[in-house]
Amino acid sequence: MLKVLSGEAVWPPPAWMMRQAGRYLPEYRATRATAGSFLDLCYTPDFAVEVTLQPIRRFGFDAAILFSDILVVPHALGQDVRFVEGEGPRLDPLSDRAAFERLREAGDGAVMTHLAPVFETVTRLRAELPAETTLLGFCGAPWTVASYMIGGRGTPDLAPSRALAEGDTALVDELIDRLVTVQTDYLVRQLEAGADAVQIFESHAGTLPKAMPASPGLIEPVGDVTESALPGGAAPDALTRWSLQPIARMIAGIRSRVPDAKIIVFARGSGLDGHARVVPETGADAVGVDWGVDLKALRGRVPASTVTQGNLHPETLIEGGAALDAAVDGIREAVEGLPHVFNLGHGITPQTPVAHVERMLARLRG
């Protein structure tokens, strides 16, 4: 996988899956029941190492991704974070400046001390994984994490975070800046602890290009054009302003301390145009491709040297059979001779049959 992230075409492509350590695996469900709460699972290295290794033992994926969650960062900053069974994460909403100022009281040293169990997990994983298996660290992108912090939960249109950004642009800018600083350090420490590469998850990129209201701080796309350097020196659009620029700052900060760091950016929902902009606007080594983008069309829009990752539909993996075979073959055809990492276009779902994952890999690897 590291060869691919360096721009080399490897055949068949290396493979891993987002959320590959998850509830579709019986061994994960058993460990999860023993661990207690989801945060206990994330913060206890014995449990986190075990569930990270489970899909590697079963399937022989080419990469393992650290088992954790993007919301451990707001938790480390002092925000109340809890996971409600069947409903997902809940946070005390960050709705005004007073709440933000309380979070700012947490110094960077205290934040990293809180996250120390994550770094221990990374170090132990690198020691236990096969040498040929890439270890991925990760975090959420600033806009995605800020959206959870502001809204207290994930919402389809991110109305709470958009409303606060419209009403108090300076506050959201300060929150984004804080997250850029903290999460840059967080990923650097994962790399120093033993991660071979990292992925930044912009799970809410799809809300940005058309959904953000126009204001001095929030710029909508100009017509159908969503380029970062618009003619005449126009301001950047919302995707660049709130997503790609903060990610680019993170990547520059990481590379100032770890010059050879390999970094993947997954900007879910940003469309064909948004995906094509990820690598040139952020400096990432690879772009994760969601299932809504035609991979062949994207490969036609970007230089042949661009590293892509994805983009099998998770529902196709659930369906299995001939449909799964055809989808895997389609991805193989789109990327033959090009640098690509095989993956899903979003995380694997709990109802996915294990046998279908086995079939997917067998088809991919011939």
| Active centre residues (catalytic) | 19, 23, 32, 69, 148
Q: What's the Cα-to-Cα distance from 317 to each of 51, 61, 288, 324, 358, rounded to whole Å? A: 21, 16, 18, 6, 10
CB atoms within 10 A of CB 157: 11
Q: Where are the alpha helices (DSSP H) in 78-212?
A: 97-104, 108-114, 116-128, 142-151, 159-167, 169-193, 208-211
284 touches 278 (CB < 8 A): yes
Separation of alpha carbons 350 and 360, rounded Å: 16
Separation of alpha carbons 114 and 75, rounded Å: 9
Phi first, then psi: what are they for 260, rounded to 5°?
-100, 20
Separation of alpha carbons 283 and 212, rounded Å: 24
Separation of alpha carbons 270 and 282, rounded Å: 14
